[in-house]
Structure formats: C-alpha cells, structure tokens
Amino acid sequence: MGKPNGHDGLSGELQVELEKLEELFTVNTEKLKQITKRFQEELEEGLQENGKNIAMYVTWVLGFPTGKEKGEFLTVDLGGTNLRICWISLTGIKDETSVEQHQFKLSDDIKTADVSKLWSFIAGSLEKFVKEQELNSSKDKLLHLGFTFSYPAIQDYIDHAILQTWTKGFEISGVEGNDVASQLRSAMAKLELPVKLVAVVNDTTGAMIASAYNDPDTIIGAIFGTGCNAAYVDKVRNIPKLKNNKEISKLDPDTPMAINCEYGAFDNARRVLPITKYDSQIDEQSPKPGEQMFEKMSAGLYLGELFRLVIVDLHFRGLFLKDRDIAKLKKPYSIDTSILSTIEDDYSKDLSKTAEMFKKDYNVEFSKAELNFGRRLAQLIAIRGARMCACGIAAICQKQGITRGHVAADGSVANKHPQFKKRWADALGEILDWSEEDKKKKDLSGDDDEQVGPIILTSAEDGSGVGAAVIAAMTLERWKKGVDAGIKES
C-alpha cells in the first residue's frame, strides 16, 4: 500500500521520492567542511607540482593594480554565446573608465568548428570593430589588446597560453595543446590588423583585477556562471613548482602573483564530492567525461540539465508526468539553468507562471502536485550548487588566512539567481565558523543590503573588458620599468 498524500498534494510514491532527493542533494555543514578541507589540499598540491588536478596556473599578473593605470586598449572575450570586443579608456581615476563595445553572436557551430574558422571569425570581428570605431593606428602605433580566454591554459608568459582542455561544452579541434595567443596573432596578421596582443587573461583574474582597480578590499575574483572558477593573489615564494623557472627567478620571492586556480576540476578523483547518479550521467554524456567534476555539480551550464535528468528519470519510472508526452523535455540541455530561477521566483498563486512556462515551452501540463515537486527540486539543486560554490572560496580563504574582504563575483548564476548570494553566504559562514556577531556584520559595498558577514560577494566590475585592459596596462608599465618576467613578445 502506498503512502497517503503529502502536504503538497504529492502522491505517496512521489513524497517518498522527494524525501530521497532531499537526502541526496542536501550537503550538511560537516560535509561542507570535509569538502573544503580536501579542496585546500588540492589547491596546495597544485602549487607544489605541475600536472596536479587543480592546476593553479600562474598568470604573470603581478599583484593588484594601483587604480592609477591609464591608456587605451582593445579587448576581446570569447564567451559561451558571444564574442565581445571593447575599446576601453582607462583614466586612472575611480569610476571614470569608458567602454565602447560590440557583441558578435557566436553561431552554434562555432563551438564545434575547426581551429581556422574560430580564429578567422575572431580576427574578422576585430577588423570590423576597429573600422567601425575608427580607431587610429599605424604600423608604428599598434593598438594594444587584452584577450580574455576563459579555459584552462598554461601561461609560461602573460602573452602566451597553451590550452589544456576545452571546458563548458566547447570542442573546437586543433586548439588543445596549442598557444592560443600565437593562433590569434597569425589570424590577425593575415588581415594585417595593426594590433599587438599584450596579455591573455582568464575571466576570474579579469574580474579580480577590474574590481580591485576601484575597490582595494577585493581579495578574490570568482565566476559562478556557465563554468566556475576563482583567482587570488599569492606570493611567488609560495609556488614551489616554479622554483627552477627562468622567468620566476627574475622576481623577488615576495612578489605577488595572481593565480588562476582552475578549480572546476576539483575532486575529479571523486573522493569527497557528493556525486549522485544524475551528476554521473551529466559527466558520462559530456564531451569530456571525468573532467571538471566540481564544475559539473555547481555551474550554470549543468544545473538545469540536472533538473531535467531527475524529472525524466521519474517519468520513466512511472512516477512523474504520467501519461503525458514529454518529447521536448527528453532533449538534453533543453532546460536552461535560468528556468530554476524562474521557478523559485514564482510567487503567483498555484505556481501558475511555472505551469504556463512548461505548457508553452515544453508542451507539458504539470499538475499542482508536480509543480510543487518541481519547485522543491529546483531549490534542492540550486541550494546544493550555491553551497558547493562556497567551499572553493572558503578553501582559498583558509589557505591564505583571509578573514575579511570582497569576493568579486561574476557570472549568470551569481547575478541572476535570486537566492544564490544568501545561500552562498550562509554556507561560507558555516564552513568558516562565523560567530553570530560576524554573521550580522553589514558591509554596504555589496549591492544588496541582505549580504552580511566579514567576507561578501561584490558584483565584479567588467572583468573581460576593463579587467583585460587594466592587466594590459600593468603589463606594459612593468615592461617599461624593465620588469620583463613572464612577458614574451612585448
């Protein structure tokens, strides 16, 4: 005999399933602490030796900007949906940076195109932008370019980046194992563009530096978006894997160095992550099984897909959307992560907005009980994601002994999910054992008053534009001063 109907009108069977899912997706404080401890170990390991799971790439960005950097720069950012090109004027005065920009739509086939198509598209878009903006340049006066490239890449120099592996669903052949800076340079040379590539920048480093340009309390740059990752600043003496590196030996051991952690790969060995069968399914069906395990459980590309996999599984087991055609929901990645926010944000009577959305976009009618179930599931997945995201930042803070400051955050999950920041902050406080007093600390630099605690998320300033420009300016400045460590071509 089945269980009686639960309080949300769920059938007994569905109530049982919900309870199982609650258990499966709930990460308690103890587990958060265990994950963070291992996270910290992996961060350390990445600094000790090359080739470890969390790569901890040096970026050759030597510390934070002063805020006085000046100059005009081109920037280009290869994002997941757009190619964004900007012309940035840095004045050295707080909040007086100007940005002219153009977005070029990345066609769907670019993500799986071949190498020449990718670079000729980027160089061609740059050419259009330079013409459109009537940017003055000549053979003797080249335009300086900062290139935001947000994939794991080894940087032996700041103007050089060897892609290790594509992430976030990209699969363009002929790029992995190659220097993306020199590939872009060749494509620009073919078009005779008067452009000099000065720096390749990860989005996390860009977010950190752009924010620090205006906010000296910035400690970390983090992306909670399609992918997830963070950058922070360490001292050269704390990077033992580089002790025989010729470029590093040019620097004083106390020199600050921005590190791109690439921590989406945390626990690829699956030692501590609370991996469910749905997470494994995402991994197995991805272009890169076994890679970016942490990212696959917490980043925007995957949360909607997790929701879909649970629903489809229940449907096939005869427990959900019984006797209805779910053809549209069967399509992988047909549920965008933004839908989880839509569902959680639905305060209409009987979740009628959510019901309409499923009817209109997926041609399925949800019962009232199914809507309640869906809402709880959306919460469970988003809460788990936000709590896991806190582990990465907590690990960096514990490793560095950071007890206060601003985490400059960017990305669709951080910016668009209505509850992300609060959940993230609660989890951070649990991991770092914040006192009641700590938890009440108000820091009004955050963009909503609800954020409290000694470490808060701030909305990152434009990392892929301003961040790349500031980094290009810092690079040119130190080159002029003769500090050429980690600069190849300038």
List residues near ligand BGC by CB under 6 A: 150-152, 167-168, 202-204, 223, 225, 227-229, 262, 264, 295
Residue 266: partners with Cβ closer than 8 Å, 6 or more residues away: 39, 42, 53, 54, 273, 293, 294, 392
The answer to whether the beta carbons of residues 253 and 239 sit under 8 Å apart is no
Which residue's CB is nearer to ligand BGC, number 264 or number 429?
264
Which residue's CB is nearer to ligand BGC, number 183 or number 464?
464
Q: What minimum distance in Å lies between the beta carbon of 188 and ligand BGC?
A: 23
Provide the β-strand partners of residue 442. Answer: 452
Q: What minimum distance in Å lies between the beta carbon of 131 and ligand BGC?
A: 30
Which residue's CB is nearer to ligand BGC, number 75 or number 229?
229
User: At 337, phi and psi to the nearest 5?
Assistant: -60, -25
Which residue's CB is nearer to ligand BGC, number 34 or number 165?
165
Which residue's CB is nearer to ligand BGC, number 17 or number 262?
262
Q: What minimum distance in Å lies between the beta carbon of 155 and ligand BGC?
A: 12
The answer to whether the beta carbons of residues 467 and 207 sit under 8 Å apart is yes
Which residue's CB is nearer to ligand BGC, number 227 or number 429?
227
Which residue's CB is nearer to ligand BGC, number 151 or number 358?
151
Residue 59: partners with Cβ closer than 8 Å, 6 or more residues away: 155, 158, 201, 202, 205, 231, 257, 258, 259, 260
Round to whole Å and give the CA distance between 434 and 394: 12
Q: What minimum distance in Å lies between the beta carbon of 411 and ligand BGC?
A: 7
Q: What minimum distance in Å lies between the beta carbon of 109 and ligand BGC?
A: 20
Q: What minimum distance in Å lies between the beta carbon of 151 and ligand BGC?
A: 5
Which residue's CB is nearer to ligand BGC, number 223 or number 321?
223
Q: What minimum distance in Å lies between the beta carbon of 63 and ligand BGC?
A: 20
Round to whole Å and give the CA distance between 72 and 470: 10
Measured between its terminal Cα atoms, the distance across the chain in Å is: 75
Instruction: Classify strands 256-260 and 57-58 as parallel, antiparallel or unpaired.
Output: antiparallel
Q: What minimum distance in Å lies between the beta carbon of 117 and ligand BGC?
A: 21
Which residue's CB is nearer to ligand BGC, number 86 or number 228?
228
Which residue, judged by CB position, is nearest to ligand BGC in the bound state? 227
* Dihedral sign (CA 438, 440, 445, 446): positive
Which residue's CB is nearer to ligand BGC, number 55 or number 251?
55
The answer to whether the beta carbons of residues 181 and 159 sit under 8 Å apart is yes
Round to whole Å and give the CA distance between 20 and 28: 15
Round to whole Å and give the CA distance between 317 and 311: 10
Q: What minimum distance in Å lies between the beta carbon of 50 and ligand BGC?
A: 17
The answer to whether the beta carbons of residues 194 and 232 sit under 8 Å apart is no
Q: Is 151 exposed, middle or buried (0-12, 13-18, 19+ CB in 10 A)?
A: buried
Q: What minimum distance in Å lies between the beta carbon of 206 and ligand BGC?
A: 9
Q: What minimum distance in Å lies between the beta carbon of 298 and ligand BGC?
A: 11
Which residue's CB is nearer to ligand BGC, number 223 or number 297?
223
Q: What minimum distance in Å lies between the beta carbon of 81 and ligand BGC?
A: 12
Which residue's CB is nearer to ligand BGC, number 159 or number 295?
295
